[in-house]
Amino acid sequence: AQKITQTQPGMFVQEKEAVTLDCTYDTSDPSYGLFWYKQPSSGEMIFLIYQGSYDQQNATEGRYSLNFQKARKSANLVISASQLGDSAMYFCAMREGRGSGGSNYKLTFGKGTLLTVNP
Amino acid sequence: NAGVMQNPRHLVRRRGQEARLRCSPMKGHSHVYWYRQLPEEGLKFMVYLQKENIIDESGMPKERFSAEFPKEGPSILRIQQVVRGDSAAYFCASSPWGRDSHEQYFGPGTRLTVT
């Protein structure tokens, strides 16, 4: 089974509108973390936002917020007031528990959503 | 504070040659992760290293691939006898030790093309 599922291969949004990118995850570990990364056409991976499984409140970072619904195992990214520069691939990722060595935080990524912001 | 450095940014190799990819983590970071991104795909974990130790290599192909993170110097991902299927972007990420070690900072990646 896929650990991270992003069901939207592509999304379009008008400039200045809000957009939600979906992410569902699968884990039996009670301790995990969820990440969103942005990959523009230049190729680098840019960290956007992090949510820990024990965090009580949804994470927010500027125009980015994470709609964390633990019971549904979803961690959707909300981008408010979209800008042309938001056009990029967006990846949801998860790290689970602790591996050997006490702190193995390897990430499992989804396949990504290509967001296009229209002027 | 310089970010994660990777070099070269682009590497072209003929089939059968060796590829060496280098990663210098952020200052103060002692954990290094390598990921591979095939075209149209998300990143896939390859290996996790701490200084002089391979902690988890469960994502590494069994043959031709090796990684090291020596006491001094950058982490190296080595691919011997490259084949066309090795063409991909290879990303290195580093994180600190301790409480905030879930944060991973990615380098710009090395784009490997095998001709």
A67-88: pLDDT as tens digits: 999 999 999 999 999 999 999 9
Q: Which residues contact B93 (CB under 8 A, 6 or more apart)?
A: A45, A107, B4, B32, B33, B35, B104, B105, B106, B107
DSSP A52: E
Test mutation, A55, A89, A105, chain B, max B CBs within 10 A: A105
Test mutation, B29, B34, B54, B55, chain A, max A CBs within 10 A: B55
**Contact indicator for A9, A116 with CB cutoff of 8 Å:** no
Strands (DSSP E) found in B1-115? 5-7, 10-13, 19-24, 31-37, 43-50, 53-56, 65-68, 75-79, 88-95, 105-106, 110-114
| Cβ separation B108–A43 shorter than 8 A | yes
Total H helices, total E strands in chain A: 0, 12
Residue with tokens 């190729």: A43
Token pair of B114 as six digits: 């095998």
| Cβ separation B56–A33 shorter than 8 A | no
| % of chain B beyond a pLDDT of 70 | 94
Residues in A touching B43 (Cβ below 8 Å) = 45, 91, 93, 107, 109
On the 0-12 / 13-18 / 19+ scale of CB atoms within 10 A, A7 is exposed
Considering CB atoms only, which of B35, B55, B106 is closest to A44? B106
Q: Per residue in A92-107, pLDDT tens?
A: 999 887 544 455 678 9
Whole-Å CA distances, A66 to A50, B7, B89 = 8, 33, 27
pLDDT at A93: 95
| Cβ separation B41–A111 shorter than 8 A | yes
pLDDT average per 10 residues of sequence, chain B (115 residues): 88 98 92 92 92 92 95 95 96 78 84 97
